[in-house]
Structure formats: structure tokens, C-alpha cells
Amino acid sequence: MRDATGIPAIVLMASLIGVGGLCRDVGYPMGAGVLSTLLVWAAPGQIVLFAAIAAGASLPAIAIAVSLSSVRFLPMCMAILPLLKGPRTPIWLMVLLSHYVAVTAYVQGMRVLPDMPQEKRIAYFLGFANTVMLAATLSTGAGYYLIGQMPPAFAAALIFTSPLFFTLSMIASARRASDWLAMGFGFAITPLAVVVAAPGFDLLLEGLVAGSLAYAGDRAYRAWKGL
């Protein structure tokens, strides 16, 4: 809980104030923005959602765009859930825990959980994630009313908070060669993937290519070091 009142919560609140503003721009009620934070629980996915609604896209087209932007939850959940799972954790609890996985809880969890006794991990994770989710939900509601009255430079800064925080958190929590390589390849390959891939599939292509290269690099590094 204490951890959740710090930087991650502030950053998340800033990005969701931005999302609240986007929700208002498309003419949706405030409750829809708040619901999107509780249910989608991914600022980039919510930005895609409201941008697609604003563009007047059809429902299936919006769903596909959001889904493609959320593909990262597959590897993220697969990486963090084994840390949370005890010998007898029921499947419904795993499903519930998986809902809280988004960048904020993922980054925090991957940093803190490995050094924590197994039986304390789920309680910590839920306490942390629920606290930041509450803060994020309140911010979405506040942003709905606030963002229209802000100078554009501040609106830009709010949207910019979460990518900047992602980047610095990844650097701060990188431990092994594959972490650094994945980040480097990810940044380098994205502009290429945007040009080469079919619209919407760029991140999927980039993630698989950059992730594979990083893994191969990590293997080579370990072999070279004799690990």
C-alpha cells in the first residue's frame, strides 16, 4: 500500500487525467471513462479506444485496434503470474490477479516480488494494484472535467507521463542482457515495423522480432560468459 502512494500512482493519475479528457472529447459520459479505467486498465489501450471512437470507426474495427495494442499483456502476464502463483492458488484467483496486470503493477511486481516470500506476494500485489487503480479511477473522473481548461502544453505533458515513466522504469529494473537488448531493439525496430507491417500489426511484429533478437543475444552472452 505504501509503495502505491508514490511515483507509480502519480504517473498513472497524470496519464488517466489525459484519458478522462479524451473521453469527454468524444462526447461520452464521465462514467464511461471511469468504466474504461476499471475494465480496460491500460492507458495506451484506452487512448486507442477513444481515438478510434473519435474517428468514427466501426465496433469490430475499434475492438481489433484495442486488442492489438493490448497484446503485450500476454507476455507480461505470463512473466508475472508464475511469481504470484502458489502451490494451491485457485484458477479464479489467477484470473482476478491477471486483470490487474498493466505496466504499473507489472514493473513494480517484477522489481519487488522475486525478493518476497511466496505467501506474501498475492496480498502485496492486490494491495498495491487496488490502490493505484483507485487513484487512477478518480483521476479519470477528474480529467473529464479538468482537461478542457488546461493549456495544450500541459495536456501534452499528461499524455507524455506514462511513456516517459515506462522508459525510465524499464531502465531502472533491467537486470540482465536480454532486458537491455529488448529495450534497444524495441526502440530501433519500431519505426521500421510501422512502415513494413499492415496497419495495427506493427507492435506485434516489432515485439516478436525485437524480443527474439534480445533472447538470442542473451543466450549468446551467457554462452560467452560460460553461464
User: CA–CA distance from 57 to each of 22, 60, 65 (Å)?
Assistant: 16, 8, 10
**C-alpha span between 121 and 125 (Å, rounded):** 6
| Cβ(170)–Cβ(183) below 8 Å | yes
Nearer CB in complex with other proteins: 98/130: 98
Nine cell digits for residue 12 = 498513472
Give the C-alpha distances (Å, rounded to integers) separating 171 from 93, 161, 162, 174: 31, 16, 14, 5
> DSSP of 77-105, one letter per residue?
HHHHHHHH--TT--HHHHHHHHHT-SHHH
Min dist CB 179 to other proteins, Å, is 6
* Cβ distance to other proteins smaller for residue 1 or 95: 95
Q: Is the CB of 136 or the CB of 189 nearer to other proteins?
A: 189
Nearest-angstrom CA–CA distance, 173 and 221: 19
What is the nearest approach in angstroms of other proteins to the Cβ of residue 146? 13
Residue with smaller CB distance to other proteins, 131 or 180:
180
Q: At closest approach, how far in Å is the CB of 134 from other proteins? A: 18
CB 218 to other proteins: min, Å: 6
Given the complex with other proteins, which of 113 and 138 has the nearer CB atom? 113
170-178's contacts with Cβ under 8 Å and 24+ in sequence apart are 170/107, 172/111, 173/107, 173/110, 173/111, 176/218, 177/214, 177/217, 177/218, 177/221, 177/222, 178/214, 178/215, 178/217, 178/218
Closest contact distance (angstroms) between CB of 1 and other proteins is 19
38 close to 47: Cβ distance less than 8 angstroms:
no
* Cβ distance to other proteins smaller for residue 85 or 131: 85
Residue 126 Cβ vs other proteins, minimum distance, rounded to whole Å: 15
If the CB atoms of residues 75 and 134 are measured against other proteins, the closer one turns out to be 75
Q: Closest distance between other proteins and the C-beta of residue 70, in Å? A: 4
